Amino acid sequence: MKYLFALILVSMSLLSFAAETEQSPKLPMLTFNMADGSQIKTQDLLGKPFILHFWATWCPYCKKLQPGLDKIHLKYQSQGLQVIAVSFREDEDANPAQSLFSRGHHFQTAINADDSAELLGVRGTPTTLFINKLGKVVLATTTSDPQDPILYKTAAKLVKP
C-alpha cells in the first residue's frame, strides 16, 4: 500500500496541478505528534480541507516556500483550511516550531514525522500535499516558489462550499 501511494504521489508531483477526481488518492490514517505535545489524527481532519507541508529546518527551499504557505493559511483559515508543517529528517538539536515562529509563520507544527513521511513516500523537502474535505490528495507538489499560482488556486478550490 505504501509503495502504491508513493507511486501515485510521485506521479502527481510531476504534474503542476492535479484535478480533484475520483482517482485522487485518499490519505491513509496518520497520527502526528505536535510540537506542543498534542496529537493530530488525519481521520479527525476529515470534513475540513488541510495542507501538509513536509519540511526540515535545514532546507533552504522550504524557507523560501513558507511565506507563500503562510499567506494561504492566513487568507483561508477563517474558511476552515489548516496548514500543518510536518518536520522530518531533522538534526538532533532542531526546534522546528521555534524556527517557524521566529520567522513569523503561523503553522501548527508536527515533529519527528519520519515514519509518516516514509509511509506517504515523501522523500524530499519541501513536499506539500493539498487534501480536500474527503481526505483525498488533490495536489502533491515539490515547488519552492511561494508565488506559484497553482498553490493559491488549489487552496481556493479546497475551501469552496
Contact 160, 130 (CB under 8 A): no
pLDDT score of 64: 98
Tens of pLDDT, residue by residue over 67-111, are 999 999 999 999 999 999 999 999 999 999 999 999 999 899 999
pLDDT tens, position by position, 1-60: 554 455 455 444 434 344 444 567 889 999 999 999 999 999 999 999 999 999 999 999
Q: Which helix (H) or strand (E) holds 140?
A: strand 137-141
Share of the chain above pLDDT 70, in %: 86
Written as nine digits, the cell of 128 is: 506539500
pLDDT given for residue 15 in this prediction? 40
Residue that the C-alpha cell 503553522 belongs to:
107
